[in-house]
Amino acid sequence: MEIILLLIYSFFVWLIFFKFKWLPWNFVSQIIVVTLPIFALTVMILILNVVAPSSSDVRVINYVVQIVPRVTGRVIEVPVEANRPVRKGDVLFRIDPVPYQQDLAALEAKLPEMTAKLDTAMAYQRELNEQLKSARSTRDALSSRLDLAVRRERQTAELAHTGAGSKFDHEQAQTEAASLRSELASTAAQMAQVQQKMSAKTTDGQLSEIAQARAAVVQLQAQIVQARWLLEQTTVYAPADGSVINLQLREGSYAAQLPMVPVMSFVEKEQWVLAMFAQNELANVSAGNEAEIALKTYPNRIIKCAVDSVVWASGTGQMPISGMVPQSGTEPIPLGRIAVRLRPTGRDKDVFIAMGAQGQGAIYTEHGKLLHIIRKVILRVGSKLDWLVLKLH
C-alpha cells in the first residue's frame, strides 16, 4: 500500500513540477517533495497502528484430547478412520467386554445371598422384639397375680391364727405365692437374656447383625455399580465433534489404562483463532470490534471476524509456584505479546480452517474509521502475495 501511495504521489509531483510546471523545481521544492511523503507515511502508519492494529502472527489452535482407556484389555473393534469427521458420541473403539461381564455376573449372583442374610437378620430382630414383648406381658400378669397371692397369703394367715380359717388354706396360699415368685423370676431371667441379645446395637437402634448384613449389601451394590461402569468403559466414545489424527490402533491391539500412553489423539472441531499483538497496540481494542484475517491456506481470501476477547495474560508475567526464590536473571525479560481471540462471522462463520494455519490479520477499532480502508487494502495486497510459493524445487 505504501508503494501505491508513493506512486500516486510521484504522479502528481510529475504533473505539477514537470508536465505543467506550475511550481519551480529548485532546492527548496526538492527538499519538500522528498520529506513530505516520508513524514506523511510515518504519521499515517503510527496512527494506523493505533486505530487499526495489525498482526503478522495469526494462528489457528484446536483442542487435542489424548484418548486413554479407563479399562485394560484387547481391542476388538475400531470403527473410525483417520482424518475423517466424527460426531460427538460416535464409537472410537471397543475393548473385549467378556472379562468385565463375568465380573459383573459374579457380583450380581452374590446379591440374593446377601439380601437373604439381611432379611434373616431383620427377622431375628423382629423375633427378639416379640419375645421381649411377650416376656413383659407375662411379667406384668405374674406381678398382678403375685400381688393377689401375697394378699391372700396374709389373709389366710390371719384367719388361721384366729381359728376362723384352716391351716391348709394358708399353706396352699403360701405355695401359690412361691410358685408365682418362681415364675416371675424365670420370666425376668428370660427378659434379661433377650435384652442382652438386643444390647449390641448401633447408634440408630439396629442390631449389629442387621448393620453388618446391611453394610455387606451396600458394599456389594457399590461393587456392582463399579463393575457395571467398568463394563460401560469398554466402549470409548468421541468426546466432541472432531477427527482422529494419526490413528494407529488396530483390532487385536492391547489397550492399557496408562495416563502417559494414549492410544489415539482426538482433535476437536472447536477452534481458537488467535492474533498476537504488541502490548501497546490494544488500547482501543474491545470485544465486538470488526476484524479480518488472511491465512496462507486460503491465498487471496479475506475471512471476516469479530473480536471475541482480549487475553490479558502473558507467559512473561507468570510466577511459578515453588519453594525457591525466583531468579532475577541478568538478561532483560522478553516483551510479552498479548493474544486476541477472534471468531469468524457472517458468511465465514462456518468456514473450514485447518488446525495450525497461520497468516496475518487486522482489527478495526471505533476510532479513525477513515484510515481503516488503508489497512484493508494493505491486508488484501498481502493476501495476494500468499499465492507465491517461494522455493526452488
DSSP state of 366: S
What is the model's pLDDT at position 136?
Answer: 76
- The phi and psi torsions of 50 (rounded to 5 degrees) equal -95, -45
Mean of pLDDT values over 185-192: 70
Residue reference for cell 531468579: 327
What CATH architecture does domain 53-65+265-316+335-388 belong to?
Answer: Beta Barrel (2.40)
Reading the block at residue 200, the C-alpha cell is 449390641
C-alpha count within 13 angstroms, C-beta hemisphere, residue 79: 13
Mean of pLDDT values over 79-91: 93
Report the chain's C-alpha Rg in angstroms: 47
Output 207 or 58, whichever has higher pLDDT. Answer: 58
Mean of pLDDT values over 34-39: 83
CATH number of 69-96+234-261: 2.40.50.100
List, in sequence order, the alpha helices (H) in the chain: 2-14, 27-51, 98-162, 167-198, 208-232, 372-384
Predicted confidence (pLDDT) per residue in 328-345, tens digit: 666 666 677 899 999 999
What is the model's pLDDT at position 38?
Answer: 83
The Cα–Cα gap between 37 and 384 comes to: 25
Q: What SS3 state is found at 71? A: coil
Mean of pLDDT values over 42-63: 91
Confidence of residue 74 (pLDDT cuts 50, 70, 90): very high
Burial (Cβ within 10 Å: 0-12, 13-18, ≥19) of residue 360: buried
Which H or E run includes 258?
A: none
Question: Domain residue spans in the chain?
Answer: 1-51, 53-65+265-316+335-388, 69-96+234-261, 100-230
Range with the poorest average pLDDT among 32-41, 216-225, 295-304: 32-41
Range with the poorest average pLDDT among 100-109, 221-230, 286-295, 368-377: 368-377
Q: Which of 122-136, 325-339, 358-372 has the highest mean pLDDT?
A: 358-372
Predicted confidence (pLDDT) per residue in 156-177, tens digit: 666 666 766 666 666 676 777 7
Are 296 and 358 a contacting pair, CB within 8 Å? yes
Are 295 and 58 a contacting pair, CB within 8 Å? yes
Range with the poorest average pLDDT among 111-120, 140-149, 340-349: 140-149
Reading the block at residue 345, the C-alpha cell is 462471522
The Cα–Cα gap between 95 and 72 comes to: 8
Q: What SS3 state is found at 273? A: strand
pLDDT at 43 over 70: yes
What CATH architecture does domain 100-230 belong to?
Answer: Orthogonal Bundle (1.10)
The Cα–Cα gap between 165 and 283 comes to: 123
State the chain's mean pLDDT as an integer: 83
Are 317 and 373 a contacting pair, CB within 8 Å? no
- The phi and psi torsions of 311 (rounded to 5 degrees) equal -85, 90
Predicted confidence (pLDDT) per residue in 254-313, tens digit: 998 888 888 999 999 888 999 999 988 998 999 999 999 999 999 999 999 999 999 988
Range with the poorest average pLDDT among 15-19, 114-118, 148-152, 223-227: 148-152
